[in-house]
Chains A and B, each alone.
Chain A
Amino acid sequence: MAEEELTVSSLTGVDMRVRIAGPGTRSYAFLTDWLIRLLLALAWLLAGSLLRLLPRIAADAPLAHTVMVAAVVLALATYFLYQPVLEVAMRGRTPGLRKAGARIATFEGATPGTGALLIRNLFRLIDALPVFYVVGLTCCMLTKQRVRLGDMVAGTVLVLDEADSVKSLSRLSAQMQRTALSAEALQLIHDLLDRWRSLEEARRVRLARELLCKLDPGFDPRRGEALSSRALQGRLEALLAGESRH
């Protein structure tokens, strides 16, 4: 299946494309958040139970009752308000969404406002029906932009968070200034290093040697035959950093 993208019009007329997160990312983020809020809620209950065991509180029945009621209220509040509160406070992100590498955005690519975030959470009532978010997930699978009902109503969409790309632009800029390699050569090395782990060892070693032979003037092909996969990887990284070894 082709990756879905959201085209965003910038203020300067140059369109940007943002990748839309699919049901997998969405479910992963939800489960992570669910685990966190469940643990937090249980922590409140545990704290309430432990406080009740303190001699001073245990001796006072009404106080012990109040402590337990407070613990239950806090646990319920944490469990049910975790997502709306965090989404508003973290501007369309939650710890689960961060972990899944996603964020909530409007169809215009902007950060959604408080109202939209609250509405999308409100419609969990319908999306969660009849059990395990069947309505929401079905809707997510059937719609072009992979949205659940709550997102449709709030005008939001879950997109992949590319915040790290700011670092990669900075890194690329630094590399391009330091190294004498062309942009195409830099891209080739980046591509190989990105796929390093997914490639078979023999193949990645062969590709690394070929690249080093062409790009690194200090690389001796005969001595390179003896270099391990790890050493070749280090050599490529050094080349990116502008440290050609002679």
Chain B
Amino acid sequence: MPASPDTESPAAVWIRTQAPRWEALAAEAAAAPRRPHATVDEALHTLRTYRVLTQHLASARELMPAGLLTAALQNTCATLHAAINRAPRLTGSRWLRLIRDEIPAAAASVRTLALWLAALLVASALAGWWLIDTYPALVTLIASPRMIDGVERGHLWTYQVLNLAPPALLSARIFSNNVMVILGAFCSGILFGLGAFYMIAYNGLMLGGLLAFTHQHGLELGLVKFTLAHGPVELSVMCLAAAAGTALGEAVIRPVHSTRTESLRRRAAQLGPLLLACALLLLGSGLIEGFLSPRAAVSIPVRLAVGLGYWTLMLLWLGGRLIPKAKAKETTR
């Protein structure tokens, strides 16, 4: 059935008149996603192409709903749609906004939860202390036989283990361990917040139990001395990550948007930057724990100064006071 101009259907007429344009439109649709940086003219040309293509798609659907051409036009439109609606790359100003505005905003949104989780950490630490103080045999639940053996002989495991590895490697190992803990606390929060609660309670219980155990052998001061420089930030970051996880769980339990999924997605997008901050802070405390904490020669006042200084820095950053905001330009005349 070769078409003759007189008997051609409206669809065939439309195709014949529009077909010459599609090659150029398809060329632009193929080029747009590959452009890393588009000029204003290129961007406008892409948008014009998109508009024309969607118009053609609407016509094609009307004239031949199940046609090959309709499918090709639709998929080309979808490809161009993804290219047009891509998020911008992380530029300097985007990073600045993230560090200066978004991270403090995310921290502020979970401040109350973080304080509650800090209280849970303290309560479980006290419970851990009481447990090991009352039933010393239970220490086998929270410490390895090697650690127990060392402490019973009057040596803290921290110094034994740390002296074996070079500080840089040790910092990397500590950092990766801590990052896994905070990621676990955040992600497990999706289980209605219970995962984050569990991680905080478990870590608190261990902390209190180990302090009680070292206290029984007169080594508690050594442990406190060891954790003084890196501990405040490390524990605070753990509470923050768990608070972020709990907030995710809350978004599932009490959605504030149209669906639970939407609520969860928006909360995760808001809290994502906070995880980046947590990872950066843990990098710092990992370096302190690898290079400074194991050195017996570093005195307690120095450790205290480093610990408090770093913690204050963290508070200033997360409180939005570390980097001043650019003054708003006066627009009123």
Interface residues of A (CB under 8 A from B): 8, 10-12, 14, 16-18, 69, 73, 91, 103, 105-106, 108-116, 118-119, 122-123, 125-126, 149, 152-155, 162-163, 165-170, 172-174, 176-177, 180-187, 190-191, 214-215, 217
From A153, A180, A190, residue with most partner B Cβ within 10 Å: A153
Main secondary structure of the interface of A (DSSP, over half): helix
CB distance from A57 to the nearest CB of B (A): 18
What are 12 A-B contacts defined by CB distance under 8 Å?
Answer: A8-B78, A11-B84, A14-B54, A14-B55, A16-B57, A18-B78, A109-B81, A111-B86, A154-B265, A162-B75, A163-B79, A172-B19
Main secondary structure of the interface of B (DSSP, over half): helix
CB of A182 within 8 A of CB of B1, answer yes
- How far is A73 from B168 in the complex, measured between Cα atoms in Å? 12
List residues 250-265 of chain B with CB under 8 A from any CB of chain A: 261, 264-265
Given A126-B190, A165-B75, A180-B3, also A112-B51 (CB < 8 A): no
> Which listed residue (A11, A110, A177, A180) contacts B50, Cβ 8 A?
A11
From B2, B12, B183, residue with most partner A Cβ within 10 Å: B2
CB of A153 within 8 A of CB of B76, answer no
Residues of B within 8 A of A113 (CB): 87
Residues of A within 8 A of B19 (CB): 172-173, 176-177
CB of B85 within 8 A of CB of A108, answer yes
Nearest CB to that of B72 among chain A residues? A169
CB of B79 within 8 A of CB of A162, answer yes
Residues of B within 8 A of A11 (CB): 50-51, 54, 81, 84
CB distance from A178 to the nearest CB of B (A): 10
List residues 90-145 of chain B with CB under 8 A from any CB of chain A: 90
Stretch at the interface among B25-33, B203-211, B284-292: B25-33
- How far is A115 from B95 in the complex, measured between Cα atoms in Å? 12
CB distance from B74 to the nearest CB of A (A): 6
CB of A166 within 8 A of CB of B30, answer yes
CB distance from A28 to the nearest CB of B (A): 21
Nearest CB to that of A163 among chain B residues? B79
B67 proximal to A (CB < 8 A):
yes
CB of A125 within 8 A of CB of B15, answer no
> Which listed residue (A163, A190, A215) contacts B1, Cβ 8 A?
A215
CB of B23 within 8 A of CB of A182, answer no
B192 proximal to A (CB < 8 A):
no
CB of A154 within 8 A of CB of B15, answer no
B163 proximal to A (CB < 8 A):
no
Give 6 closest A-B pairs by Cβ, nearest first. A113-B87, A165-B75, A110-B85, A162-B75, A173-B22, A111-B86
CB of B2 within 8 A of CB of A110, answer no
CB of A174 within 8 A of CB of B23, answer yes
Residues of A within 8 A of B67 (CB): 183, 187
B319 proximal to A (CB < 8 A):
no
Binary flags per residue of B6-44, CB closer than 8 Å to A gives 1, else 0: 001101100110011111011101100100000000000
> Which listed residue (A12, A111, A119, A125) contacts B87, Cβ 8 A?
A111
